[in-house]
A and B are shown apart, each in its own frame.
Chain A
């Protein structure tokens, strides 16, 4: 046992680093190889104002290093990225890293809010749906998640604003000030993720509740709620945790739409704006940051697995 856990961690860490490097490469290929180079794209009318002269374009290219061969650019940029330097934004020359860090706090707020909504709603729904003995109620509850994943996220946000901000006047419609402004964006962000979580958790709870050890617990006289919450939930949580990692890793992507709908400042808005002016270094920085978060969250999930099920660290495949 002593040797297996560090080796498990090391293997996971190695995978994480490899994925990050590859994500860098993919975003480099997509952004730098496809349309020529960013300066030409920008100078040819990406922004307002008069078109640049060829000399100016050459000077700009030299400044950002776009005049070098691609493989050299790739090498120098990757080397810089390894040291935490993601280059400078093309629109205003601001460091990409500081631009991202500046935009982060309001986004983290709604991301955490969304995660909370997803866990509470998704977990609660799955537990309620598997606990109830009313057939119609179970079917109703289980129909909700597939309804929720079919709704366009931006539309749900707008309808929530319509009802709770303009109709009932309970909550503010836009802005980022204080707790009330967090409620609607968090619900909008958390709803589809909670639906996904509910589907997986309900399915694995149903499977687990059929297992012999649950029957044993029942035979020994344990209460229904106790079996459900204490015995079954822990084992059923493993597939749900995988989904939760996936969901949390995708939270940043969700904020792109949500922050636009609610006109909040943050990383999502920064992304929309960067794409709008084809600010390639900034877009690449954001993509990299998002995959860093994705990889980090999944690493965290990998670390929690052995706590829930010690067999995983020993290389026994997880039962799902």
Chain B
């Protein structure tokens, strides 16, 4: 599924940058490089907005006090269920807690889970793929069969099975989501490793007597990492969705903690009367995922295409 999401850029994306195919004879100076980055961004206002959103979310995750100084778990009961206004940007919930403050403080929990999930997938999947691609033969066969099987169990069910075994909590949900996406990382990493293993410079390294682990570390890994990192950025968006789904189902942190998914689950009981309780956290998740996907698309093709 993941590779299908990367591909489709807007049809004009490669054509917008003028002089895209000009080969530069000398390495660019710092000013030229800066100029090129600015021009690249200037043609893509959506990408600039996406970067800003991600920046905001990162600030919310690491320094929530900057964006929302209040306490997310303390509310004024007299001001319960107020619609969005200047005082309460996202309104207030059934205990009078400010929903905006809760969403901002929830970012750290939700992002923490997402980072763990992506890290697990990247490390485990990357290592398996590297091993399969580099060693080849029966190791490759065996590992790839395991990957096939992991792909034939729907991701959310695999996560749920892991949660059954591990129990509840933010970190456990994160691990469950990460393990469920190990397979796609292993596939991409294996393909890249196989491609590079057959390249001339690896052959050259071997012919001058470089040890296999040096070859692996110095030549194969740095060159294979690119597509896998792009996949990791994309997986970040998918992991936010998966983590918030599981948190919505109630497998995340216990109630007072403001995880994005559980915020929506709480708001569900007041759906008929107080639309903002669900709408606002949901819009935050959607904006984050959209932005991350936009950035991964830029990393995947447009930047190298526009150079």
Contacts and interface: CB of A to CB of B under 8 A. Distances in A.
A66 interface: no
Contacts of A27: 153, 161
Interface in B230-287: 237, 241, 244-245, 248-251, 261, 264, 268, 271-272, 275, 278-279, 282, 285-286
Nearest to B281: A155
Nearest to A46: B167
B249 A256 contact: yes
Nearest to B154: A253
Interface in A84-143: 138-139, 142-143
A194 to B, nearest CB: 13
Interface string A228-257: 000000000000000100100110111011
Contacts of A188: none
B157 A287 contact: yes
B160 A256 contact: yes
Contact of B161 (A25, A161, A284): A284
Nearest to A202: B8
Nearest to A195: B5
Contact of B157 (A143, A243, A290): A290
A72 interface: no
A158 B272 CA distance: 10
Nearest to A147: B290
Contacts, number: 160
A280 interface: yes
Nearest to B10: A139
Contact of B148 (A19, A150, A261): A19
Given A162-B278, A166-B271, A287-B153, A275 B166 contact: no
A280 B250 CA distance: 18
B165 A146 contact: no
A189 interface: no
A274 B157 CA distance: 12
B7 interface: yes
A120 to B, nearest CB: 20
Given A22-B149, A286-B157, A260 B5 contact: no
Contacts of A290: 153-154, 157
Contacts of A149: 5, 293
A260 B249 CA distance: 8
Interface size class of B (residues with CB under 8 A): 35 or more
B245 A23 contact: no
Nearest to A272: B249
B290 A150 contact: yes
Interface residues of A, number: 62
Interface string A154-173: 11001101100010000000
A149 B12 CA distance: 22
B16 interface: no
B142 to A, nearest CB: 11
Contacts of B155: 253
Contacts of B163: 275
A158 B285 contact: no
Interface stretch (A30-38, A177-185, A213-221, A308-316): A30-38
Contacts of A166: 271-272
B152 to A, nearest CB: 5
B11 A275 contact: no
Q: Which of B152, B261, B279, B289 has the most C-beta atoms of chain A within 10 angstroms of its own C-beta?
A: B152
A30 B165 contact: yes
Interface in A1-46: 18-19, 22-23, 25-27, 30-31, 34-35
Given A149-B5, A166-B271, 16 more contacts: A26-B146, A35-B166, A145-B8, A150-B286, A152-B248, A152-B264, A154-B244, A155-B285, A159-B282, A161-B271, A162-B278, A272-B160, A272-B249, A275-B160, A275-B163, A287-B153
27 contacts: A22-B149, A26-B146, A26-B149, A27-B153, A30-B165, A35-B165, A35-B166, A150-B241, A151-B286, A152-B248, A153-B241, A158-B264, A158-B278, A159-B278, A162-B271, A196-B1, A199-B7, A200-B4, A254-B156, A256-B157, A256-B160, A256-B249, A283-B160, A287-B157, A287-B161, A291-B152, A294-B153
Q: Report the 4 A-B pairs with minimum CB-CB distance, sorted nearest first.
A: A253-B154, A155-B282, A22-B149, A34-B165
